[in-house]
Structure 1
């Protein structure tokens, strides 16, 4: 086992990353999984290495990559996704130089006599009853003992169809079991981590959330930054794992609130491998929000295989008028996808994806540069950085000038190009007294802003921009963890060099590389989603 600290490796990474990334492109083969009928990407399909414990999950464009060594070793892959026929594929058939296309066909449900019998027996179950049984069955259907999940983690933003600020890691989650508190008791190891400099970096998007100055925030929602640790943020949004603690609105405490906060409906069953699943859709409408979601629940034991949850802004519409798969044209505030897979009779995590939008404040283009007191003219001069629009600049109500916290009444206004002369309604004696007090304060090095203040509102420039108006750019943020291997008996590592949960993953964290580190890999996406 090799143990390092990230701080000690900074210089090494700066020198070596370009070489490493260049080499990686020839060490991996790439493919895309598409729907046979529609040609759409099959997102988050499971790609397993046949006969081995590990695998990978497809990206949002259906792509994935595998080490070329697996092809050279003659390995095969098995691709599966809910509602599709499972497909086995020899890696020798894939080109090492191209993006290979693999197509999956929608599955046709074929029920055995046992399943038919179970269907008849449970045909009278309502959607709400099925969900209630699924929630009450969590303690039995999910592991109570320690297990480890090793996988590929990434966080990134999407801007103009491009991945931005892509950070990647291979992580190990040591989970003490579903009877424990995940945030308090689960431990995480970092096997490897990179800020992928082959992808565009955007400093604005990398800020921490700031709800005081609104430099970066989520409109109509609040997200704790957890010290900037994006993986911690991701973990707390697994409502199944955190079923007995608060996760996110409006699931809240899943075992108590999911049923109370939503309306449920049974949809058509789907096939998942050799199992038939109930599909339960649910929704809710609030004053400011809309909610749509789905649960995929096993018929034989009511285990939750997958949960989809999407919260929309009820007021804000998508700019281009597009609708999503639910036929909704409202802006999505956040979306959580969580999938578990059965292994040795228990449900273990397969992947989790958490998406949210956020706003980044941009500095105003049109501002007040300064406000001066002109004694000879007997006025205040407001200086702007752009030529002002005369009508809005001529309105007395757009200027609030105060001396010793008392508002000064305005007599008249004279608009020039980038300056506005504001003449106060003061006698000559009062104006001279104001100047005297300002001079005296300046000589004593007193803060003049405490004596004289000026606020300008609703003045526009020739382009129509309002003075000091902040502009906001919307980003789409993703955090995702795709499991590559489950160890049902817990971690094989004995060290205690775990991730600190309250600081960013890449700041002063330990890197712990096990001896079999080369069995795991980063499923780095294509740079542009539409490629």
Structure 2
């Protein structure tokens, strides 16, 4: 082998791993042997992931170098470094709990109260967090759970079909309802999205990949069940004219075309539309950097009591742990804030809705047949520093629980001038549902952009969601996403 080729070979071997693969591992507490969720694993210049709720993680080594190291850190533990070349697939990594020898020194020298720390956070937030235009690559994983306590449709009147046809429709609807009532359904969605943020109200979205993992048992897919129910109704009632739809004294639709509904149901394709993602992200993502507002309790500090619990370390910084509890009846959350001692930035935020409280609530069950209760609303956020020393959100988890009840009668009247010739039918809809949603957002990368770059971004309309009945373990190969939990991997 010629000398120059030998030199190139040595350089390539030294700096880059020869086999591109995803290596998996588990983070554990050295003293208790318990797994550590949401630990940060950094490697290379700009690469990093976090461990999942089970302490497991996966790193993409496609462009890593053999001289790179894994740097693992978690709140309250000593940072641990390991040469990447010495890390083997499915290795366990143990972190040592940090001894807070500096706690008393910080508390005594600073002599700050919890409320003063929060005031300093608010004062410095605009200079501590990323507020300029930037591009985020976001991985989102969502778990949906639905339990139907009651569910049903009934066609009570239809003056342009035979009575026997109406009874046939209702028999089919009753059979559909029986498969739903009391059922528990679970499915998952994952998607990768490029997000471009400019000013606080300017946001562009480009979805890249998306999957849905749903059981192969059709009865477990509530969306499919509801689609079948509507098809059974409207394919028998189809009419070329349009209808006005009313419930109670409220007009829902002035010109509903039943034939178009049937076509939409026949051609329904599961997709993720850019405008829908943009709308869901628009009020959420800018607030994460405290640009457009503050989360409660920070927005309602007078309603809460705050107390310094301890001082610990996080990613090499000393951090105050502050507990908060309601101090007034209207306050509804409890949790912890983690504020850095150096520049008073929040690097971690944990908030839980207190049992018995509601994030939103509406009870018009006896008046209008509608009741709604958002009885769970938990939020967890974690922040990292970028190369410029500014903080940006790295991981967000939001968990919501909602109860919904509706018992309404809908009246469909044909838009026909001759009242005697006018076709009409009545449809009763009953649903009593408990919904649970868990959203995880992991910011894979964060990069600064300028206004011209933002203006040049062209959004697409959306992408088709690929559907699987079991989790496709290789789908996110070569992406630094959150490792799937055993629950998700074993779902079928």
TM-score (norm 2): 0.58
Describe the superposition over 1:426-467 as per-residue Cα deviations: whole angstroms up to 9, x where unpaired: xxxxxxxxxxxxxxxxxx9999999xxxx9xxxxxxxxxxxx
Q: 1:67 to 1:347 in 2, by over 3 A?
A: closer
Q: 1:145 to 1:155 in 2, by over 3 A?
A: same
Distance 2:317 2:46 in 1: 20
Count of matched residue positions in the alignment of Structure 1 and Structure 2: 352
Q: 1:94 to 1:360 in 2, by over 3 A?
A: farther
Which one of 167, 179, 182 corresponds to residue 189 of structure 2? 167
The alignment partner of 1:140 has SS state of helix
Q: 1:228 to 1:200 in 2, by over 3 A?
A: farther
Describe the superposition over 1:290-318 as per-residue Cα deviations: whole angstroms up to 9, x where unpaired: 411211111111111111111133179xx
The alignment partner of 2:354 has SS state of strand
Deviation for aligned residue 1:359: 4.0
State the Cα RMSD in Å.
4.6
Match of 2:203 in 1: 186
Distance 1:76 1:199 in 2: 42
Deviation for aligned residue 1:195: 2.4
Distance 1:130 1:168 in 2: 37
Match of 2:48 in 1: 55
Distance 1:292 1:61 in 2: 24
Q: 1:332 to 1:348 in 2, by over 3 A?
A: same
The alignment partner of 1:482 has SS state of strand
Which one of 81, 89, 93 corresponds to residue 102 of structure 1? 93
Describe the superposition over 1:181-227 as per-residue Cα deviations: whole angstroms up to 9, x where unpaired: 2xx2132332322224689995337999xxx99xxxxxxxxxxxx99
- Determine whether 1:41 maps to 2:35: yes
* 8 Å contact from structure 2 (residues 338, 348) kept in 1: yes
Match of 2:384 in 1: 341
Deviation for aligned residue 1:232: 4.9
* 8 Å contact from structure 2 (residues 185, 221) kept in 1: no
* 8 Å contact from structure 1 (residues 44, 59) kept in 2: yes
Unpaired runs of at least 5, structure 1: 1-25, 214-225, 317-330, 364-443, 456-467, 508-516
Match of 2:11 in 1: none
* 8 Å contact from structure 1 (residues 150, 170) kept in 2: yes
Distance 1:186 1:228 in 2: 11
Match of 1:90 in 2: 83
Distance 1:260 1:493 in 2: 39
Distance 1:198 1:56 in 2: 28
The alignment partner of 1:267 has SS state of strand
* 8 Å contact from structure 1 (residues 289, 314) kept in 2: no
- Determine whether 1:127 maps to 2:127: no
**Higher strand proportion (structure 1 or 2):** 2
Q: 1:140 to 1:243 in 2, by over 3 A?
A: same
Structure with bigger gyration radius: 1
Deviation for aligned residue 1:134: 0.4
The alignment partner of 1:102 has SS state of strand
Which one of 485, 507, 510 corresponds to residue 445 of structure 2? 485
Alignment of 1:353-364 (within 5 A): 353-359=397-403
Distance 1:144 1:259 in 2: 23
TM-score (norm 1): 0.55
**Higher helix proportion (structure 1 or 2):** 2
Q: 1:93 to 1:73 in 2, by over 3 A?
A: closer
